[in-house]
Amino acid sequence: MTASDTHNQDLTDDSRPLAQGVSVIERFLATLPGTPGVYRMLNGRGDVLYVGKAKNLKKRVVAYTKPERQTLRIQRMIAETASMEVITTHTEVEALLLESTLIKSLGPRYNILLKDDKSFPHILLTADHDWPQVLKHRGARTRRGEYFGPFASAGAVNATLSALQRAFLLRSCTDSVFSSRTRPCLLFQIKRCSAPCVDRISRDEYGELVAEARAFLSGQSQKVQKDLAKRMEAAAEAMEYERAAVFRDRIRALSRIQAHHDINPAELAEGDVIALHQAGGQTCIQVFFFRSGCNYGNRAYFPQHAADAEASEVMAAFLGQFYADKQPPREILLSQEAAEAEIVAAALSEKAGRKVAVVVPKRGDRKRLVENAYDNAREALGRRMAESGAQSKLLDGVAEVFGLDGRPQRIEVYDNSHIQGTNAVGGMIVAGPEGLMKAAYRKFNIKSTELTPGDDFAMMREVLTRRFQRAQKEDPDRDRGQWPDLVLIDGGQGQLSATLDVFAELGIDDVALVSIAKGPDRNAGRERFFMPGREPFSLPMKDPVLYFLQRLRDEAHRFAIGAHRTRRAGAMVRSPLDEVEGIGAARKKVLLQHFGSARDVAAAALGDLEAVQGISKSMAKKIYDHFHPHG
pLDDT one-digit tens code per residue, 494-537: 999 999 999 999 999 889 999 999 866 555 668 899 999 999 99
252 versus 320: which is more confidently predicted? 320
Residue 335 DSSP SS3: coil
Summarize pLDDT for 176-234 with one digit per residue, the tens: 899 998 998 888 888 889 999 999 999 999 998 998 888 888 767 777 878 888 888 88
- Closest to 430 in 3D by CA, of 516, 469, 488, 373: 488
Measured CA to CA, the distance from residue 50 to residue 30 in angstroms comes to 20
One-letter amino acid for residue 40 of the chain: R
Q: 3-class SS at 489?
A: strand
Taking the CB of residue 521, how many other CB atoms lie within 10 A of it? 6
CB-based burial, 478-488: b 16+ in 10 Å, e otherwise: eeeebbbbbbb
Q: Where are the alpha helices (DSSP H) in 109-202?
A: 154-168, 175-180, 186-189
Torsion of CA 77, 79, 83, 85, to 10 degrees: 30
For residue 515, CA distances in Å to 43, 174, 415, 497 come to 48, 65, 11, 9
Question: What pLDDT was estimated at residue 6?
Answer: 42
CA-nearest of 278, 275, 276 to 525 is 278
How far is the C-alpha of 19 from the C-alpha of 190, rounded, in Å? 75
Q: What is the pLDDT of residue 17?
A: 75
Residue 446: the pLDDT is: 78
Residues whose CB is less than 8 angstroms from the CB of residue 269 and which lie 6 or more positions away in sequence, other chains included: 219, 290, 291, 292, 293, 330
Q: What share of the chain is helix, strand, coil (3-state, %, to 5)?
A: 45, 20, 35
The CATH superfamily holding the domain 391-570 is UvrC, RNAse H endonuclease domain (3.30.420.340)
pLDDT at 3 over 60: no
Q: Mean of the pLDDT values across residues 587-614?
A: 81
Give CATH for domain 18-106. Answer: 3.40.1440.10
| Residues 331 and 114 sit within 8 Å (Cβ to Cβ) | no
Give the distance between the most distant pair of CA atoms in the chain: 109
What Rg do the C-alpha atoms of the chain give, in angstroms?
Answer: 34
What angle, 0 to 180 degrees and rounded to 10, lies between the N-to-C axes of helices 364-387 and 390-402?
80
Spatial contact of 114 and 303, defined as CB atoms under 8 Å apart? yes
Asked if residues 56 and 34 have their Cβ atoms less than 8 Å apart, the reply is: yes
What is the C-alpha to C-alpha distance for residues 326 and 336, in angstroms, rounded to an integer? 22
Please state at what angle helix 18-29 crosses helix 72-80, rounded to 10 degrees: 70
Q: Residue-wise over 395-433: b if at least 16 C-beta within 10 A, else e?
A: bebbbebbeeeebbebbbbbbbbbeeeebbbbbbbbbbe
The predicted model gives 292-318 an average pLDDT of 89
Asked if residues 424 and 417 have their Cβ atoms less than 8 Å apart, the reply is: yes
Q: What is the mean pLDDT of residues 118-146?
A: 88
22-36, 81-95, 515-529: segment of lowest average pLDDT: 515-529
Helix (H) or strand (E) holding 352: helix 341-352
Locate the domains of the chain by residue range. 18-106, 122-259, 270-386, 391-570, 576-627
Q: Over 80: is that where the pLDDT of 399 sits?
A: yes
pLDDT cut 90: percent of the chain above it: 41
Tell me the C-alpha distance between 283 and 313, whole Å: 12
pLDDT digits (tens, 9 = 90+) for 460-502: 898 999 999 988 888 877 877 789 999 999 888 999 999 999 9
For residue 292, the model assigns a pLDDT of: 73
Q: Does domain 576-627 fall into CATH 3.90.1300.10?
A: no
Q: Tell me the H-state helices in 238-284.
A: 241-259
Q: What are phi and psi of 19, to 5 degrees?
A: -60, -40
Phi, psi angles (nearest 5°) of residue 536: -55, 145
Pair 235, 191: CB distance under 8 Å: no
Which of the listed CATH numbers 3.30.1330.10, 3.40.50.150, 3.30.420.340, 3.40.50.720 matches domain 270-386?
3.30.420.340
The answer to whether domain 270-386 and domain 391-570 are alike in fold is yes
Least confident of 242-246, 250-254, 302-306, 556-560: 250-254
Residue 122 three-state SS: strand
Confidence (pLDDT) at 343:
94
| Residue 619 pLDDT greater than 60, yes or no | yes
Give me the count of residues in the chain.
631
User: Regarding predicted confidence, which is higher, 576 or 157?
Assistant: 157
DSSP symbol at 133:
B
**Is the separation of the CB atoms in 125 and 113 below 8 Å?**
no
Determine the Cα–Cα distance for residues 485 and 409; give it in Å rounded to an integer. Answer: 7
Amino acid letter, 496:
L
Residue type for position 603: A
Q: Which amino acid is at 308?
A: D
CA distance 345 to 133: 37
Beta bridge partners of 295: 290
Closest listed residue to residue 564, CA positions, set 414, 412, 427 = 427
DSSP assignments along 292-312, one per residue: TTEEEEEEEE--B--TT--HH
Mean pLDDT of the chain: 84
Q: What sign does the CA torsion over 499, 503, 506, 510 have?
A: positive
Percent of the chain scored above 70 by pLDDT?
Answer: 88
DSSP conformation class of 530:
E
Instruction: Say if residues 629 and 621 touch (Cβ distance below 8 Å).
Output: no
Q: Which residues contact 576 (CB under 8 A, 6 or more apart)?
A: 598, 599, 601, 602, 627
At residue 214, the 3 state secondary structure works out as: helix
